[in-house]
Amino acid sequence: MATACTGRGLSFLRSLTCHVRGTALSGRPPAGLHTSAALEVNKNWERRNLQLYPPQLPGEPRRAAEVHHCRRQIKYSKDKMWYLAKMIRGLSIDQAITQLEFNDKKGAKIVKEVLLEAQDMAVKNHNVEYKSNLYIAESHSGKGKYLKRIRYHGRGMFGIMDKVYCHYFVKLVEGPPPAVEPRTGLDQAQEYLLGLRSRTVRHSL
């Protein structure tokens, strides 16, 4: 269809479609078109960066800047990536980068690159003043699209081998990392007892 129009016509069509796609959140295919689930990719995490907030009133507390960043189709297992994502949750960005630098896993290098990219984006595009004043609010891994291969077994048997890929998502928020109250075993035990004591017994004698 692209070849059917001349260059000029194509740019005209492009300008028309740009007019139609007014808002920042309409990058999907048009409603009438049906594509299979295998072809449609979910880009919601990137779209969160395009959300515009209304101007704040002078009395309101200053809203913290948020940056969402991700890397797709990393050649690594999502379960192995989860360990790294869990490790850096709640740390400040400098601490997280230091920890990842001295981690021996393959995914650590990739996660560190993603964090540095996100920090750069935050300073350049999202009006974050100090690049160290960020902490990791959310960090998780997701399953990517797997490739399937044959794994040969004996006696003519075979298994379908998955070549695993994963996505890694991170959300950086401006400000110092929130203080986590350390919960000891004693605290947990006390809470458990409290829960038991505050039960209401119905229809009893």
Partner 1 sequence: MAVPLRRTLIALHRATCNNLKSADGWVDVRQPHPLVVPVRGKKRHFIPPAVGIKEKTKADPEARARAAGLVFRQQYVERSINISCTAGIFDPYIPPEGDARLSTLSREGLKQRTEQLRQSAASQLAIRKIKEHDPLFNTKTFPELAQDIFIQAHMALTQFNKEKLHSLVTERCYPEMTRGNRLKTIRWSFVESLEPPRVVHARCPDMVTKTNLYGQVTLRMHSRQILALYDRFGRLLLGSEDEPKDVLEYLVMERHVVNPYGRWRLHGKIVPAWAPPKDPIMKTVLIPGPKLKPGEDFDALQFEVPKPQSVQWSK
Interface ranges with partner 1 (CB under 8 A): 3-4, 6-8, 11-12, 19, 22, 24, 50-56, 62-66, 123, 126-127, 129-131, 148-150, 158
CB of 52 to partner 1, least distance (A): 6
For residue 73, give the nearest of 27, 112, 42 by alpha carbon.
42
What is the distance in angstroms between the CA of the first residue and the CA of the last residue of the chain?
Answer: 79
Rank residues 34 and 63 by Cβ distance to partner 1 and give the closer one.
63
Rank residues 72 and 126 by Cβ distance to partner 1 and give the closer one.
126
CB of 175 to partner 1, least distance (A): 12
CB of 18 to partner 1, least distance (A): 9
Rank residues 30 and 61 by Cβ distance to partner 1 and give the closer one.
61
69 touches 114 (CB < 8 A): yes
Q: What share of the chain is helix, strand, coil (3-state, %, to 5)?
A: 40, 20, 40
Rank residues 102 and 130 by Cβ distance to partner 1 and give the closer one.
130
Name the strand (E) or helix (H) holding 115: helix 106-125
168 touches 70 (CB < 8 A): yes
